[in-house]
Amino acid sequence: MNHLPKRLDSLVRERYASAVAEGALLFSESVVYSQRELGVDFEVRYVPALAKRPSSKPSEKQARANFVNPFLPFDPRLHVAGIGSTHQLLLNKYCVAPNHLLITTSEFKQQGEPLTMSDFSAVTDTIGDLSQAHIVFYNSGEESGASQPHKHLQLLPMPDTMTTPPTVSIWLQSAPKEGQVCSSSDLPFANFGCRLAPDTALSPKGLHAAYSAALQRLIASFGDSVSYNMVLTPLALVLFPRARSGWQGVSINSLGMAGLVLCKSIEEMDLVKSSGALGILSQVGFPLKSASANADNS
């Protein structure tokens, strides 16, 4: 393992503070409220600054003549540490929560390529040296909510109000014992995941095996070109196939599929309130029954 500095917690905080002071990082103020669905509190965050950010899909950005890859080279003011020779740990320039981290490949890899053992090694090296629990996520494909074409995973500190993201918490209610891929009928949209044994959460080999098994099931149901989101917590790794990147203006990435929904306007926030967070996620995912039918026919 290529362990990161044991002072990683303090190093992240120091880098974050200096990046803010130097104007390299833009923190957006937000208003958060909870919405209880299926006995679980979903987090809905209103971030007005999101309306000012240009949004486009990875292929659209990459096709532009003036495209600049923000990760190659990366802004040194956002650099936290190298993770071996294969990955870099960066601060997210556009963050809605402090200390939002990115794990990027040192060489260009396409966002949407399957995650590798090396990717998971970078993840475990990072979270193993952080004291706070984090949500790790990966946006794969054009409809996943991804915005950059350079391969990267994201790590966000778990909100103080929860120990497990809402949809993962619901998924775990019917998940079998560790190591088996399953789809939870408690969620109204397609999902494939594995409950993780305690020692698997920090094992690159175990995480890669769980991810590969879940991805194989997802591909059997929806094909190998479908977009999806991966959400990884200490208890579970879950994939959510995506039919579209947003609905009625509400953009959804892996955080949204985890149950942490971002809204850029009051109108979007009202829509989440009226339709329900799960209602929105059902519009951007696939109906659970289509996953079952496709799997039965595969």
User: Any idea which residues carry the catalytic annotation?
Assistant: 152
Phi, psi of 110 (to 5 degrees): -80, 130
**SS3 call for 273:** helix
Neighbour count for residue 283 (Cβ, 10 Å): 16
Token pair, residue 67, equals 């495209």
- Report how far Cα 153 is from the mean position of its chain's Cα atoms: 7
DSSP 85: T
The residue written with tokens 């971002």 in the block is 262
Q: Which residues pair with 195 in a beta bridge?
A: 236
On whether the CB atoms of residues 59 and 117 are closer than 8 A, the answer is no
The residue written with tokens 């698997």 in the block is 200
On whether the CB atoms of residues 125 and 6 are closer than 8 A, the answer is no
On whether the CB atoms of residues 217 and 192 are closer than 8 A, the answer is yes
d(CA 287, CA 29): 34
Neighbour count for residue 219 (Cβ, 10 Å): 18
Alpha helices in the chain (DSSP H): 8-21, 58-63, 117-127, 166-172, 204-222, 254-258, 266-275, 277-284, 288-297
Q: Is 286 exposed, middle or buried (0-12, 13-18, 19+ CB in 10 A)?
A: buried
